Amino acid sequence: MITPVKEILERARKGGYAVGAFNTVNLETTRAIVEAALEMGSPVIIQMTEKTMEYGGGRGMYQLVKNDAEFYAPSIPIGIHLDHGHSFEIVERAAEIGYNSVMYDGSRKSFEDNLETTKKITQFCHDKEISVQAELGSVPYLGEVNVGEIDWDKYMTDPVQAEKFVAETEIDSLAVAIGNAHGFVKERSEPDYERLEKINQAVNIPLILHGASDWENGRVSEVIKRGITCFNVDTALRLAFVNNLIKSVREQENVSFDVRKLLGDAREAVKKTVKEKIKIFGSEGKA
């Protein structure tokens, strides 16, 4: 059942658990997420980046997710979301296609520019009943920095700025930087829990954690206690998919040319990973 992301996040926040926002890139990943959600009785968010929209077609990918969700898991709340939109144009395009939730990522701009553009985008989206996530501070990416030498202070969300940013932009959720990084990297030895608590006290909206695909259970539950309502998961799914594919090809003496068998097995590996994440986030049985 396609459900507004805002509603899924608000329910999770009230219920004291978190949901997964899983990145899809194709049919196999989409079906894996939908089936995992159904089997776990869990609400989920399925999201796409601009690159995925280019790869699969923005409209095509949207219709794929919508159709799979409605047909295979009609009883499960499933939100569809644009992840890391970097411009007004991509948000307009998502709105035209039918997405009811978008992220505008102005995290690499100055505070003032990020605030100004996010505010304009929020006004545009709220008129169309589309909810908006923005990012303050910045979550680094594997490859762009040498994580061993990273100056985390440069990336962190400032709680005082967060209060002003949320009040002026009227966004619906906020992606925070507390020592997290995109990809499987050796992150900050401990997330900045104190900072997260301060952000949570300063703003009264769901907080989103990007780049925590590789976080172990202990850390996950500590940040849920301090206001994290949603975890974005991409790398863990890509790794499950690709590793399974490599293994299948290597293990076969005569490689099967039945693409459905190869991709079907990879899909099962992704589904297993999604189910593990749902368990850790605490959203099992919350549909």
Residue in 68, 83, 172, 234 annotated catalytic: 83
Residue written as tokens 């900045």? 192
Bridge partner residues of 131 (DSSP):
101
Strand-pair category, 101-104 with 131-136: parallel
Whole-number minimum distance, CB 233 to Zn ion, in Å? 10
Whole-number minimum distance, CB 82 to ligand G3H, in Å? 11
State which of residues 24, 49, 131, 283 lies at the interface with ligand G3H (CB under 6 A).
49
DSSP-derived 3-state class of residue 95: helix
Whole-number minimum distance, CB 253 to ligand 13P, in Å? 34
Query: What span, in angstroms and rounded, lies between the C-alpha atoms of 30 and 82?
Result: 14
DSSP-derived 3-state class of residue 153: helix
By CB under 6 A, residue 138 contacts ligand 13P? no
Query: What token pair was written down for 196?
Result: 């997260």
Query: What span, in angstroms and rounded, lies between the C-alpha atoms of 243 and 245?
Result: 5
By CB under 6 A, residue 283 contacts ligand G3H? no
Draw the binding track, 143-172, toward ligand 13P (x: CB under 6 A; -: no contact).
------------------------------
Query: What span, in angstroms and rounded, lies between the C-alpha atoms of 277 and 33?
Result: 11
127 is catalytic: no
By CB under 6 A, residue 182 contacts ligand 13P? yes
State which of residues 6, 31, 210, 275 lies at the interface with Zn ion (CB under 5 A).
210
The amino acid present at 71, given as its one-letter code, is: F
Q: Which residue is nearest to Zn ion (CB)?
A: 210
Between residues 198 and 277, which has the closer beta carbon with respect to ligand G3H? 277
DSSP 270-286: HHHHHHHHHHHHT-TT-
| Binding stretches for ligand 13P (CB under 6 A) | 23, 83-84, 182-183, 210-211, 213, 232-236
| Binding stretches for Zn ion (CB under 5 A) | 210, 232
